[in-house]
Structure 1
Amino acid sequence: MTGEQTDFEHLMQQLEALVTQMESGDLSLEASLQAYEEGVRLTRLCQQHLASAEQRVLHLQEQQGQVGFEPLNLSDPGVS
């Protein structure tokens, strides 16, 4: 497992733990706001890791002469 994978998985674990904590309803308003801000930060970091992975895949496809990469349209009803 590479460091980037470990970092992404660690970030996701942190985010999941934060969501669980927030869903418990035991946080004060201030603690909830801080948790929300931390969740936004973790989400952005996860998105950066995913974007980096996508770029690596595109680069590998280009090296192998494969043409075309079309991201999934998650709003398409045919995509589950």
Structure 2
Amino acid sequence: MARKKTAISFEESLTELEKLVEQLESGELPLEDALQAFEQGIKLTRDCQQALAKAEQKVNLLLEKNGLQNIEPFETEE
């Protein structure tokens, strides 16, 4: 029987992503391992982005439910 992969939390994904970035930045990984780390990093990045999008949707729903939908969006440094 195939075991269902359990989702890890946003914080766990972010921590794992930070570790992968440190490994890649060190320059000490062999090419094949670096490619695998990069691939895993892309997956973790997507997982984090999805978690943040879901959280944003929940916040927006709560604001709308409480009549606070006219709140100014948070500005980022992009």
Q: Deviations over 1:1-60 (max 9, x none)?
A: xxx9x7000000100111111111111111111111100000000000000000000000
Give, in whole Å, the separation in 2 of the partners of 1:71 and 1:52: 17
Residue type at the aligned position of 1:59 = L
Q: Partners of 1:68 and 1:59 in 2: how far apart?
A: 12
Q: Give me the whole-angstrom Cα distance separating, in 1, the residues matched to 2:21 and 2:77.
A: 23
Runs of 4+ residues over 6 Å off in structure 1: none
Alpha-carbon separation, structure 2, partners of 1:60 and 1:21 = 39
Could you tell me which runs of 5 or more consecutive residues in structure 1 were left unpaired when the two chains were aligned: 76-80
User: In structure 2, what is the equivalent of residue 11 of structure 1?
Assistant: 13
Offset, 1:64: 0.4
TM-score (normalised: structure 1): 0.78
Q: How many residues align?
A: 71
- RMSD of aligned C-alpha atoms? 1.9
For structure 2, which runs of at least 5 residues remain unmatched after alignment? Answer: 1-6
Please tell me whether residue 72 in structure 1 is matched to residue 75 in structure 2. Answer: yes
Aligned to 2:25: 23
